[in-house]
A and B are shown apart, each in its own frame.
Chain A
């Protein structure tokens, strides 16, 4: 008896955990991050069974899967059903990228009329079936972890995969880009050059590349843990002479589906309209930092 069970145990130890990668509305960039792990890819395949990954293989193993990585947002009713099916087959489900964690840049349609968008792009809009919104996966099913970034960082991806397969929490810091930027010893583009930068409210992870390339952060890693976009936007207007319209658009791009970013952006949109109404010759008085209005 004993012998038999230890044999079974050995056998179990040999079964590799199964990984699946799923795509919804997206650019494929986040799943490409996995194929971009050139140095690690063959090693990963040694310890993990890549059981379902259409971009990389014809080989498909049936579920359940130990870990599902989900890229892309939900934009059609078919996909809204499909994600439930994916969840049912997955022990852990991790969303990767801005599309999957907040709706992506395509979530801009949430604030327009989807019908207008459809008519603009398609000569036969009647052929197109799509939901009025582009929503994150967590609006539809339970998500175990969300990895931010547009695109995600492949080192962080490897950390998340390894953490889930070992049953621990991923070690991903949720502080702001600014912290990394300072640790990297970059010259602050906002202070030194008056370039608007979203670093203070953006989630760390990209390695603060934009400031290293003389550019302000444009927020492609989404909000950090507790962002205050209004305060930063006000400072950007006051300190860098950024227009309210610029601040509005900056908050309303890759993470426009994020509630905090979107609410703040609307405030600046109102200011932009005021500037428009005043005409180009006059500018708005500098806003006071920490404004009270909503």
Chain B
């Protein structure tokens, strides 16, 4: 197998000491209901966990390399092809980085529209995950289609919700996968206000469905499982963060986007303790809906907070990764509310984009993709060509945390029957809605901690 990207943790191996104990192996060769290709391998001996591997065998596509020499205007369309599930996040981080390099100030109208199209992506992508990829885990179905036999109304409502997210992206962006309307400085064309207003009714319906979704998922059965994560997300004093803000954590990180690389590091050394992206100061961390909610619950619209109170969901519940499905549902509700707010206040006040002059520079962009922060950095030459590109997607940042979760899950459910334990492990990975296609640079890394 070509495993260009494989992460392997070996821990707690005590050669000889465990002789005679039974070895147990859990293997999932092709992890289903995640975006991209990955597998899972857990081996235990006696009571010890010998090995946990969350393997990624997505073939490399070399985006950062192929971006060099391209024009700064092209990064937005090209990087969207990294991932068809969250193309807006790629487009937004890319244009934001270019705009920061060129010193472009967007108009308020353009910023609001950017937020609107991003809301469309949150609705679409979160709904896909909640209904089609994750809920079947909790309810014991192999997929949403089988789930639809028992829960026809739930599934068809989910599909309707997803469609409304897609329609919003299509209206602002031209199409739902790899939209064509986003450009450096703004948009090619402003949407027609009357067309946008046609989305009001569907979005109100979506809001109702989202509320029902929150109630529905809150009744699922959650394992009693908590971990003390370092939550990392954007933070903005006035709004629930989507495409601007500082990067903060609950352990003291508080930085502007351009200093991302001073604090985060990708370690590529075999047999080191470090996996993909770590905080230089402390190591593993978690990005995504749980982290966003943990830091920004206070800036959610009242309706969303009310809904959270109704199901008795507390900020501290973010420590249970299985409850990410609740937070995703709350974020769908937020995105519906926010879209309604933006559309109601929308006037097609030009310009569609801000003009700029090409100049040399370095730019950074960081936005909240549905799965967590997505960082881009570009160096631009005086001819407007990209000299250097760096892209750090959310799934790379969560990898180390996913493996630590697996470790703890195996420990906790050690005595469960084989199939249940396997299923739990798969579910643990799916909590993160990992987007393996986003792997701009996954690596095969080995870690060996031999207790002596």
Contacts and interface: CB of A to CB of B under 8 A. Distances in A.
Interface of A: 23-30, 32-33, 35-36, 38-39, 41-42, 45, 50, 54-60, 75-79, 104-106, 108-109, 112, 116-118, 120-124, 127-130, 134, 150-151, 206, 209-210, 212-215, 218, 220, 246, 249, 253-254
Nearest to B137: A58
Contact of A29 (B64, B84, B189): B84
A57 B440 CA distance: 25
A151 B444 contact: no
Interface stretch (B153-161, B228-236, B401-409): B153-161
A30 B176 CA distance: 11
Given A213-B180, A253-B78, 10 more contacts: A29-B85, A42-B156, A54-B33, A59-B146, A76-B2, A117-B66, A127-B443, A130-B59, A213-B188, A218-B77
Interface in B1-34: 1-5, 30-34
Contact of A75 (B35, B59, B174): B59
B2 A77 contact: yes
Given A58-B143, A105-B81, A214-B189, A38 B166 contact: yes
Contacts of A104: 61, 81
Interface residues on B, range: 35 or more
A36 B177 contact: yes
A253 to B, nearest CB: 7
B64 A213 contact: no
Nearest to A250: B74
B176 to A, nearest CB: 6
A104 B85 CA distance: 17
Nearest to A129: B2
A54 B30 contact: yes
28 contacts: A27-B82, A28-B35, A28-B437, A29-B81, A29-B83, A32-B84, A32-B177, A36-B177, A39-B159, A78-B1, A106-B62, A106-B63, A117-B65, A117-B66, A118-B65, A120-B62, A120-B68, A121-B62, A122-B443, A128-B443, A128-B444, A151-B84, A151-B178, A213-B180, A213-B181, A215-B189, A246-B71, A253-B74
B61 A106 contact: yes
Contacts of B77: 218
Contacts, number: 200
A105 B70 CA distance: 12
Nearest to B36: A28
A209 B171 CA distance: 11
A105 B78 contact: yes
B270 interface: yes
Instruction: For the complex of A and B, list the 7 residue pairs with the smallest distance between their C-beta atoms, beginning with the closest.
Output: A29-B84, A57-B143, A123-B268, A78-B2, A117-B65, A59-B142, A38-B163
B66 A39 contact: no
B115 interface: no
Contact of B83 (A28, A128, A213): A28
Nearest to A246: B71
Given A30-B84, A57-B33, A128 B66 contact: no
Contacts of B266: 123
Interface of B: 1-5, 30-37, 58-66, 68, 70-71, 74, 77-78, 81-85, 87, 128, 132, 136, 142-146, 148, 155-156, 159-160, 162-163, 166, 174-178, 180-181, 188-189, 266, 268-270, 352, 426, 435, 437, 440-441, 443-445
Given A25-B59, A29-B177, A213-B180, A120 B65 contact: yes
Contacts of A215: 180-181, 188-189
A38 B159 contact: yes
A41 B148 CA distance: 11
A42 B84 CA distance: 22
A220 B175 CA distance: 13
Contacts of B162: 36, 38
| Chain B contact surface mostly | loop
B74 to A, nearest CB: 7
Nearest to B34: A55
A36 B84 CA distance: 11
Contact of B189 (A54, A213, A253): A213
Nearest to A108: B66
Nearest to A50: B145
Nearest to A31: B84
Given A106-B66, A117-B66, A127-B443, A59 B143 contact: yes
B62 A127 contact: no
Contact of B59 (A57, A79, A206): A79
B181 A58 contact: no
A106 to B, nearest CB: 4
Contacts of A42: 145, 148, 155-156, 159
Nearest to B61: A106
Nearest to B178: A151
B177 A129 contact: no
Contacts of A106: 61-63, 66
B352 to A, nearest CB: 8
Nearest to A79: B59
Contact of B33 (A23, A56, A118, A212): A56
A48 B32 CA distance: 20
Given A27-B437, A45-B145, A220 B59 contact: no
Contacts of A30: 84
Given A27-B82, A36-B166, A213-B174, A76 B59 contact: yes
B81 A27 contact: yes
A249 B71 contact: yes
